[in-house]
Amino acid sequence: MTNRNETLFEQAKQYVPGGVNSPVRAFGSVGGVPRFIRSAKGACVWDEDDRCYIDYIGSWGPAIVGHAHPEVVKAVAKVAESGLSFGAPTAGEIEIAQEIIKLVPSVEQVRLVSSGTEATMSAIRLARGFTGRDLIIKFEGCYHGHSDSLLVKAGSGMLTFGTPNSGGVPADFTKHTLVLPYNDNYALNEAFREYGNKIACVIVEPFAGNMNLVRPTADFMQLMRNLTQEYGAVLIFDEVMTGFRVALNGAQSIHNITPDLTTMGKVIGGGMPLAAFGGRAEIMAKISPLGDVYQAGTLSGNPVAVAAGLKTLELIQKDGFYENLSQRTLDLTQGWQALAEKHGIPMLADCVGGMFGIYFGLEKLPQNYGDMQKVDNDLFKRFFHAMLDAGVSLAPSPFEAGFVSAAHDDEYIQTTLERTDRVLAELAMSN
């Protein structure tokens, strides 16, 4: 029997670089053939071979209410009947801005864009324009989109200016990016001691999700807030992933820290291309057309995407939504942990809200990118493919967080754990 996924992948590679439109989809970290998804509903996706999978990718986070939620689909269809794009203001843009500002108190004004990369790129430009400074700080292992100044890696020293880790990025574009280890208070203190009056901003994932889920310490986050205030730098929370995913009011509500700017995406679009950046009105006043920091976008605030986002934000505010989401995610990760111990597999699991991480070969939960470099990639690959064969879809990389949705009810969680039990038993036998 012909495998349609294989056929499509070979066909795609003729017309699309690597056969995919975003690198991680190519299964480069795990090998094999990516699944081409035909449809999705609730907690499940179906591939082109009509195989059903319990899905823990969730479109990389946006599908918090489940795939193709009927109320979201209805809202999108209603707006689409009136037009797909106008390139002009709409009432829906005001409504979603009001909703975001209501839910994220640190945001006094907000600008809509179409992607998380746009949001973080614009927030950094705005921070530089507001402070009149060039230098930015990011943390190793945190991903903030593919704009030039952020595609950097750390060097060998404790305080290292970024060097490009992507072709096509001139070194001049990254010479103003200082890369520090995540959760390293000493390095953060030293950076501000050495360069404090030159630092425009610090950008951070308040729960890292792009080196897998890594929790920051409370001291690390508070120190970041204290130092940016002391030196007049802008603190940017990149909540593209964590916003409305780990808590209704974002990761900043868990840390009880008020950033100066916040970037958002994924959940606020409900599965459609929508993102945003916002914060203190004093800073947002520097953005064009009020100020001299230019930012624009033909599809920004697209009415169809706004409709999906508005309905999603309405649904997640229902009583008990986050309590149920967090409990099911905890049930899943605790179940995985218990099964790993049962079968003697070196696997750890952690979660916050509806976001989780699994880690193979570590003795304790990771604190930074260096810890994540020690994971057992081979064991993860075997686990990933065995789970996929068992009908459970996880992120195809040991460095990506996973996501639970409201559609993952107790039955789906239990089914997932039963399938995991069989997979881990087989892995244990083969070791």
Same domain, 77 and 201: yes
Catalytic residue among 53, 138, 184, 266: 266
pLDDT of residue 156: 41
- The helices-and-strands tally (H runs, E runs) of the chain is 14, 17
We report the CATH number of the domain holding residue 398 as 3.90.1150.10
Alpha-carbon dihedral 352, 354, 357, 358, rounded to 10 degrees:
120
Same domain, 90 and 236: yes
Same domain, 290 and 341: no
Residues spanned by the domain of 343: 4-64+319-430
Same domain, 162 and 116: yes
Catalytic residue among 53, 56, 143, 359: 143
Question: What is the model's pTM?
Answer: 0.95
Express each pLDDT in 334-362 by its tens digit: 999 999 999 999 999 999 999 999 999 99
Per-residue pLDDT, averaged over 116-134, amounts to: 97
Pairwise CA distance, residues 274 & 30, whole Å: 29
Q: Which of 315, 339, 354 is at the close of a domain?
A: 315
Is 364 labeled as catalytic in the residue annotation? no
25-45: b or e for each residue (b if 16 or more CB lie within 10 Å)?
bbbebbeeebbbbeebebbbb
Q: Which of 297, 315, 333 is at the close of a domain?
A: 315
- The total domain count for the chain is 2
Same domain, 125 and 52: no
Same domain, 349 and 261: no
We report the CATH number of the domain holding residue 259 as 3.40.640.10
Same domain, 117 and 143: yes
Q: Which of 264, 293, 315 is at the close of a domain?
A: 315
Catalytic residue among 47, 55, 238, 371: 238
Express each pLDDT in 2-11 by its tens digit: 599 999 999 9
Express each pLDDT in 143-198 by its tens digit: 898 887 777 765 444 444 556 677 777 777 778 899 999 999 999 999 999 999 99
Pairwise CA distance, residues 64 & 132, whole Å: 38
Same domain, 234 and 331: no
Same domain, 54 and 133: no
Same domain, 329 and 281: no
Is 412 labeled as catalytic in the residue annotation? no
Is 342 labeled as catalytic in the residue annotation? no
